[in-house]
Structure 1
């Protein structure tokens, strides 16, 4: 089973793949998110595994855009605890450090630690990539903020673990396949969709009221600008419900009056760690 993700070995996405799919999953890393989707569409990988939102940093806009643009379907979600570690070369002491490399999202999550450590902060393209580059440079004055898995891969030491500000730092990932490769018998408890409203007053409010009218619990609402249509927006929603439910069918039919685009991004089981689900 080949699973594509964005990043290099040791990235949080690979941590998530290990957590949910075990060692039998072959994790294929790519430099750019677009390449992850291309790998799935071309058959190079059967599955894609990408983050869509973080409990601190918010949504991962590029992946929302790509899920909308490409003929793929979400078949699963997963919640991965993000634990940032300060990695150095073996034997390095804190007093030797002058610079720390990190992904910008990691900065938002570890800012108090970086400030207290009094290190020069240097942004990097990728968390695991920063760890790999540190191992290649062999500099005792540098550290990287990255997952603990990177220490194993690149021969680094964990000088400090769990340096993130919030202990409950969680990223939600989704697994997707080509639209025509949805597994048979997939349990569909939760639905993700994107829609664009017609340009008239109250269209968005009318759509949201429909979810309430038909008793559908929204667990997420995001908006993204439409690049080819300035100041127009695509709205992304998740809700508890299956496309086979009569209430969902009636809701989507009624939404057609207020929208000119609706795309089902996927229907899939609710992960037990989803804290937004009603009891």
Structure 2
């Protein structure tokens, strides 16, 4: 048997590749600035969506030829293209406003170093290659006063959050300031557990945090009920307390903020809602000019007359001039009961003829109107490929293409529906199965009580995923599977690579091929040669034909114990979300004898309705998030079993 390479050697190779990648990304960024210089000369738009589509289609095709799925390639290059667009915008913005160009900027923000406001400010300045002199402030009013007095060039104010919505204090402040909005930036809010270097999770007894992160991480904290919570005025204060304390204390904050205090992230992704972003506006004493080739936003405040349809009349003005309104917010007018001030973000350059004409018409109909600023929009919408461009058939699918009669997954090959046995659980036409799913990172020593509760609620098996696909901790795996066995739950373990089979088959009643490995021919062949039942999850970018082609690779190797798992397809308008494809459920059941289960653990909306619909359409089972409310799951399962 060929000896496996040493882990240190592999890590050295990966480090070398990472260094090369960073060097190439830096060169690509430099070239994007050269492109901006070219566009400055002949005033061409920042984005060429036709070229972007051609580029992405070619990269998807080349990536698949090298074993990379389309979603991975698109996610990577959407980030690269966004960075290129924002850097080009920053360059052109600077060239259009030479008087505002400085090597060093004084910036006012909320809190102290390490807060999310500080991170937003520092990233904004880094993109513009400006050295930041930071001024921490204790309130939004203090930020405005610091800029108005000339002590700061810019002020950063959080305006809205994807979890908590609009920040009303800032909207109220904008009514009474003469500052102009000159920019915007959006950052991801990623909560981590921060502690001193060399601290262990088992050491932590006290947790410092601002009330907002505590509420946003309530599910994580519920799983670690032994932690004593200490409230702080800011994340920076929480990190400062950890720095002054011993190794038994930790804080909730960002990984970047923690690094400023010499703290390390013991765990990340603590928030209940995985997509959590905050948008900041940048204010200055004077407005700026936005070059016409840069996508721009204009922000207005406006009071309408007290008559029916007054707001509608003003909005019709925008429609008449083909101006899109991206935000509308209302706030009470101070000292004037029952009257509202309206805040509007519109996608238009203030200097454009259409925007100037619209403003003239709005001034005639509105009781009060004021432009707060025109600035470059940092909302870079990903270029979408046509459906056909995404569905480039991989080599694995081409190599297994057969007539329907010969395809082992087809009903022509086997007219009767297949039943698959997972331990004591049957999945098939006449046997409906309820499965729970959770990442192995969520396992803790007291998990047995939760596993028993899941069994009593009606679940028969547990899918265990592994977000850290490079490491399998057998000691944790052994304890987890023992507790599942004692609770009477079958253990279904996710597998990422063929070499893990020898370890996982010792603990599992069945294995799961995650969607991202659906095109992994070596893994499918290895599992097809084993005797364990397998669940094959559909890739979020795969067609029905590609899904069944991967199933065919598995079946051709000999193992016929295969369950198809529909977990959702990617929605390009909301790339962070997955939508269960019930149409594919119907189509696959019509053409294949293999059982199909529906995984709703990634779905955020209408789970109950989707579960009932999937059951009516012939799904052989359902997968739910193991950490959702067990009583809610029990009620849903009772309804499904009754329907069956």
The structural deviation recorded for 1:96 is 4.0
When residues 100 and 228 of structure 1 are mapped into structure 2, their CA distance, relative to the original with a 3 A threshold, is: farther
Q: What's the secondary structure of 2:193's corresponding residue?
A: strand
Cα deviation 1:158-215 (Å, max 9, x = unaligned): 221222233332211121110xx33456567210111122222221222222222221
Contact 1:216 1:240 in 2 (8 A): yes
- Please report the RMSD computed on the Cα atoms of aligned residues, expressed in angstroms: 2.4
Pick which of 228-237 and 94-103 moved more. 94-103
Contact 2:287 2:373 in 1 (8 A): no
The structural deviation recorded for 1:114 is 2.0
**Matches of 1:26 and 1:232 in 2, distance apart?**
40
Cα deviation 1:5-35 (Å, max 9, x = unaligned): 1110111122112222127222221111111
When residues 90 and 150 of structure 1 are mapped into structure 2, their CA distance, relative to the original with a 3 A threshold, is: same
**Matches of 2:214 and 2:334 in 1, distance apart?**
28
1:154 maps to: 261
When residues 107 and 252 of structure 1 are mapped into structure 2, their CA distance, relative to the original with a 3 A threshold, is: farther
**Structure number with larger C-alpha Rg:** 2
Contact 1:128 1:147 in 2 (8 A): no
**Matches of 2:204 and 2:250 in 1, distance apart?**
7
Equivalent residue in structure 2 for 1:135, among 219, 243, 253: 243
State whether structure 2 residue 312 is matched by structure 1 residue 205. yes
The structural deviation recorded for 1:249 is 2.5
Contact 2:208 2:241 in 1 (8 A): no
Pick which of 196-205 and 32-41 moved more. 196-205
Contact 1:4 1:48 in 2 (8 A): yes
Contact 1:68 1:263 in 2 (8 A): no
1:190 maps to: 297
Cα deviation 1:112-159 (Å, max 9, x = unaligned): 2222222444443212222223323x1555432111233222232322
State whether structure 2 residue 348 is matched by structure 1 residue 244. no
Equivalent residue in structure 2 for 1:35, among 114, 120, 142: 142
**Matches of 1:45 and 1:185 in 2, distance apart?**
22
The structural deviation recorded for 1:78 is 1.2
- Gapped regions of structure 1 (runs ≥ 5): none
Contact 2:298 2:350 in 1 (8 A): yes
TM-score, normalised with respect to structure 2 = 0.40
Q: What's the secondary structure of 2:131's corresponding residue?
A: coil
Matches within 5 A, 1:195-234: 195-234=302-341
2:393 maps to: none
- Gapped regions of structure 2 (runs ≥ 5): 1-104, 383-572, 574-644
**Matches of 2:287 and 2:201 in 1, distance apart?**
50
TM-score, normalised with respect to structure 1 = 0.87
Pick which of 115-124 and 10-19 moved more. 115-124
Q: What's the secondary structure of 1:69's corresponding residue?
A: coil
**Matches of 1:192 and 1:55 in 2, distance apart?**
19
State whether structure 2 residue 186 is matched by structure 1 residue 67. no
State whether structure 2 residue 114 is matched by structure 1 residue 10. yes
**Matches of 1:35 and 1:213 in 2, distance apart?**
40
When residues 146 and 233 of structure 1 are mapped into structure 2, their CA distance, relative to the original with a 3 A threshold, is: same
Matches within 5 A, 1:17-166: 17-22=121-126, 24-118=131-225, 119-136=227-244, 138=245, 140-166=247-273
**Matches of 1:90 and 1:263 in 2, distance apart?**
51
Q: What's the secondary structure of 1:256's corresponding residue?
A: helix
The structural deviation recorded for 1:72 is 0.6
Question: Which structure has more helix as a fraction of its residues?
Answer: 2
**Matches of 2:313 and 2:212 in 1, distance apart?**
35
The structural deviation recorded for 1:71 is 0.7
Equivalent residue in structure 1 for 2:362, among 235, 255, 264: 255
